[in-house]
Structure 1
Amino acid sequence: MTAFHDLHRSGLLILPNAWDAGSAAVMRSLGAKAIATTSAGCAWSLGWPDGDALPVERAVHMCADVVRAAQGLPVSVDFEGGYSENPGDVAANAAALVEAGAAGINIEDGGGEPGALAAKIEAIRTKVGGDLFINARCDVWLRGVGDPETRVAEALRRAAIYAGSGADGFFAPGVTAPQDIARLTAGTPLPVNLLAVPGLPGAAELERLGVRRLSAGSGLASAAYGRAAELAKGFLTHGASEPMIQGALGWSEMNALMP
């Protein structure tokens, strides 16, 4: 097992999601224990939409850039659905990320039948071995699969399938109710990962409930782009310069963060 695996054994790993190498360098400077990427943020930064649209070679190059900026911190890559429906091709894509330095990946089921993701996980594990942390993402909440009262049971069914296929972690974005969180953490041996969304309990409560990982997802990237849009609007409308200085990291400070 790797150092990244060890970060999931106790306590709560708070994992910021970078959208490019520069944002990864900033997060490293703030004391992050590891860095993840956000598929949405990375795609946007390269001018692509989210949703398995980014060419896999661009995702691999982004991984290498973020790994370099992370300077030894473990990097987990949001792998979307693996950029293919063919398990063999997904495994080859995952191997390219490992070669680029990834310590972990998220791979999602999209709310579809779990057998498809299970086959991808098995193929990845066979291809790359045990060092890569495979975080299986269950999208029943994000996609609104089934009745709300059945989603915890469905998630636990999927968690068992993914664990049997070689997954190391279980990501359940969209769940917020403490009673549902407690059932998830009690019902699977996999470390449970949640997504920072409105209504989610704070870090101390999540740790008490047994959650082992909290991800920012695309939230930081969205906030950064929102702030940039606000400033650009003011600049385009009024030529306003002063607002761009407020709260900004200076040239020297940013430049010093780059490896």
Structure 2
Amino acid sequence: MPSAEIVAVRRRAFRQLHASGCFVIPNPWDIGSALYLQRLGFKALATTSSGAAWRHGMADGQMTVQEVLVHLCEMVDATGLPVNADFEGGFADDADGVARNVRLAVATGVAGLSIEDSTGDANAPLRELPVAVERMRAARAAIDASGGDTLLVGRAENFIVGRPDLDDTIRRLRAYSEAGADCLYAPGIKTREQIAAVVAAVAPKPVNLLVGFATELTLRDIEALGVRRVSVGGAMARSAWGGFMRSAQLIAGEGKFDGFASAASGAELNAMFAEVRS
């Protein structure tokens, strides 16, 4: 883990990114992808629960808190950039457990972390709002007890879990803001109207927008709607998996190697990693 001084510098820089304008916080899934994104000039990175899980041959949501903490340490150590942790629901059934696990996440040196309100239960996919708020307050208290400089992101999962109720989404985001979330996030909203409504509802706090799909919206469009940061979730990992799967399926099914046509150059990859590791 980086020194306490370096961690503090990264966290200050991360908070400053949220103060104005709009920035992209892409989601690497391993050290190599993190180093490449740093090389492209991105100012911060975010982990992806799905990408990390697929890397280990698991479904999203199957990693244990211990496995996630190891992954966070790995990602924080990989680059000189601030890292925001996709900390799912806090990996605990109750608020005390969320607080305990958030303290462990903060200790890895992450500059931010998100807590979501989904349950993983298809029949009741969202936590009752009072329960979700209690968990957010517990996360806030745990961060404050650890120094208070780690940014807390409150996530309303309505649109992701098949409950696309914008009014309830906004109700939840406002409650999470009041409970101490520094940044608000409603993954799954897509239209200009939805995005603008969320931004207006939680202003002046910053909003994170997930763009994990092809969209006509450009970064300039998104910034004009008032969004402060844009993440891509598991989309980059899915893109990498897509290329791998197409190549493998062509070989297995047709005996063809056409899938390698768009492969990256091995020489380029070796040169890049030799440079960043020197």
**What SS class does the counterpart of residue 135 from structure 1 fall into?**
strand
Secondary structure of the corresponding residue to residue 33 of structure 1: coil
**Residue matched to 1:195:** 210
The aligned residue for residue 154 of structure 1 is 168
- In structure 2, the CA distance between the partners of 1:234 and 1:257, relative to structure 1 (3 Å rule), is farther
Q: Whole-Å Cα distance in 1 between the matches of residues 38 and 259 of structure 2?
A: 28
> For residues 166 and 50 of structure 1, what CA distance do their matches in structure 2 show?
27
Residue pair 1:21, 1:62 contacting (<8 A) in 2 also = no
- Give the distance between the partners of 1:116 and 1:59, measured in 2 at CA: 23
Alignment map for 1:87-126 (pairs within 5 Å):
87-110=95-118, 111-126=126-141
% identical equivalent positions: 34
C-alpha distance 244-257 of structure 1, shift in aligned 2 (>3 A)? farther
8 Å CA contact retained: 1:38, 1:78:
yes
Q: CA–CA distance in 1 between the matches of 2:239 and 2:83?
A: 21
Q: Does 1:33 align with 2:33?
A: no
Match of 1:44 among 36, 54, 57: 54
Instruction: Report if the CA contact (8 A) 2:49-2:86 is conserved.
Output: yes
**Aligned match for 2:185, one of 161, 166, 171:** 171
Structure-1 residue corresponding to 2:271: 252
Deviations 1:111-163 (A, max 9, x none): 33222222122112212212111111111112232xx5xx3322221122101
The whole-number CA distance in structure 1 between the counterparts of 2:53 and 2:271 is 27
Is contact 1:77-1:105 (8 Å) kept? yes
| Deviation by residue 1:12-67 (Cα, 9 ceiling, x = unmatched) | 1211001112211111111111000000000111222112x201111111111111
Conservation of the 8 A alpha-carbon contact between 1:69 and 1:258: no
Tell me the TM-score normalized by structure 2: 0.84
Q: Which residue of 1 aligns with 2:6?
A: none
Q: Which residue number corresponds to residue 65 of structure 1?
A: 74
One-letter code aligned to 1:157: R
Separation of aligned partners in 2, 1:139 and 1:19: 21
Flag the 1:239–1:255 CA change in 2: closer, same or farther, 3 A.
Answer: farther
Identify unmatched segments of 5+ residues in structure 2.
Answer: 1-10, 119-125
SS in 2 for 1:82: coil
1:76-116 CA distances to partner (integer Å, 9 max, x unpaired)? 01011111122111112111121111111121111332222
Consecutive unaligned residues of structure 1, counting only runs of 5 or more, are: none
TM-score after normalising by structure 1? 0.90
Task: Quote the residue 1:74 is aligned against.
Answer: 82
Count of residue pairs the alignment pairs up: 253
Deviation, structure 1 residue 245: 7.4
